[in-house]
Structures are given as C-alpha cells and as structure tokens.
Amino acid sequence: MRARKGRSLQAAQVPAVQRRRQLRQTIVTAPCSAGGLEAALAPYRALLVQVDALCERIGAGFPAEISCRAGCAACCTLQGVLPVEAASLALALRQLPEAAAAALRRQLRAPTADAAHCPLLTDDRCPLYAARPVICRTHGLPLLLEENGGRRVDRCPLNFTGLDTLPGTAVIDLERLNQALVIANRHFLAACFPDGGLPDRIPLQRLADFPFPP
C-alpha cells in the first residue's frame, strides 16, 4: 500500500497546469449518483471501521509501548493511493470549510521540494485525518510483511521498545489487510468506473483536481 516514490517524484516535477490536464485526460466521468457513491464506498468504509477497532485494541493492550501522538509525522511519507481511497479523500476535501478547502487545494497544487513527506501535511498534521487511508491508520504499529519469500515485522523504532518479543496480538498482518483493501477498491471501480479510465494509483498532489465524486 505504500507509494512508489519514483513515480511520485516524477509527478511532483510536472507543472501544475499540465498535471491537471493529464488527470482530466485519464479519468472518465463516473456514472455514480450520490446514492451510488455511498454504496460504492460502503465496503471501504466498513474496512476502515475494522482497522480502527484493531488498532484501538492494540493501543489499549499496550498503552506504554506506543509513543505516537498528534504532530508526529515521521511515518507520513505516503505519496499515492488507490482510487477508492482517493475518492474518499476527495469527498472529505470537499466537505471542509470553504477557506480550509481552498487553502489545502493551493497547497496541493504548489510545487514542493519535499517529496519525502505526504503533501497533505499542514504543520505536521493531517487536515483530512478522519478520512485518512488504511496505511495511515496503522502507522507506528507492528506490521507483518512478506518480502523475498520470507516474513518480517516492521514497526516505528519509537514504539514497543520495552518488549523483548512482540506478542501476536500486537502485530497486524499487512498482506491480509492489503487483500481486503484490494477487494474494496475493485468493488468501487466496478460500481463507478466499470469501463476503466482510472490509473492504478492516484498521486495525493492531484486530489485538488480529482473530478470525482461529481
């Protein structure tokens, strides 16, 4: 679920006007009505509820081992998201107060030299925090990864420093989580973009010009 940094860096170097033009050329108009959009996003939102519950259980079980707090953005390096995540974020952007939404759109469209951090960050805080993607909800927690035919656990080095070993109840199976996210994304695409027209991943910088939801 993590962004491909090479692709994101390349996108950030393209002039803003050209980026908007390219995005409009690659995305077709979605046939979803307002009610259809809610139905299309329902599996994704149900997944978010499950992820939040899982993360809350881990936090409640190991309160002394988690140092994550508001204003810590060390893990916030995401550059691109799946279409279902982009639609959810774009909807949240539209629901911000007018002044806040306008400011965030300007921020997203502005050229940036800091391609290592999420372009949504404002003073190391996320203005779309309630709609943040799945990977953002699991930041800092131990993640079970499958790499090169093996498995390993990755976590923030500031967390779980007081334990010699990590119990299974503290670890999130990222592969299983990714599979559920892919299913939710397929449901969204089948409902709203049955003929295609969307790239596999949407750069976060393009949320300001994402023509969906209609």
User: Per the structure, how many domains does the chain have?
Assistant: 1
Nearest CA to 1 among 177, 142, 203, 198? 177
Residue 109 forms part of a structural domain:
yes
Owning domain of residue 91: 5-209
The span from the CA of 91 to the CA of 118, in Å, is 18
In a domain, 214, yes or no: no
Percent with pLDDT over 70 in the chain: 80
Question: Is the residue at 76 inside a domain?
Answer: yes
- Return d(Cα 52, Cα 35) in angstroms, integer: 25
What mean pLDDT do residues 86-92 have? 93
* Percent of the chain at pLDDT exceeding 90: 44
Phi and psi (nearest 5°) for 186?
Answer: -65, -40
The CB-side HSE value for 30 (13 A sphere, CA atoms) comes to: 22
Instruction: Say if 42 falls within a structural domain.
Output: yes
Q: Is the pTM of this model over 0.85?
A: no
pLDDT of 130 strictly over 80 = yes
Residue with tokens 């259980």: 57
Structure letter (DSSP) for residue 207: G
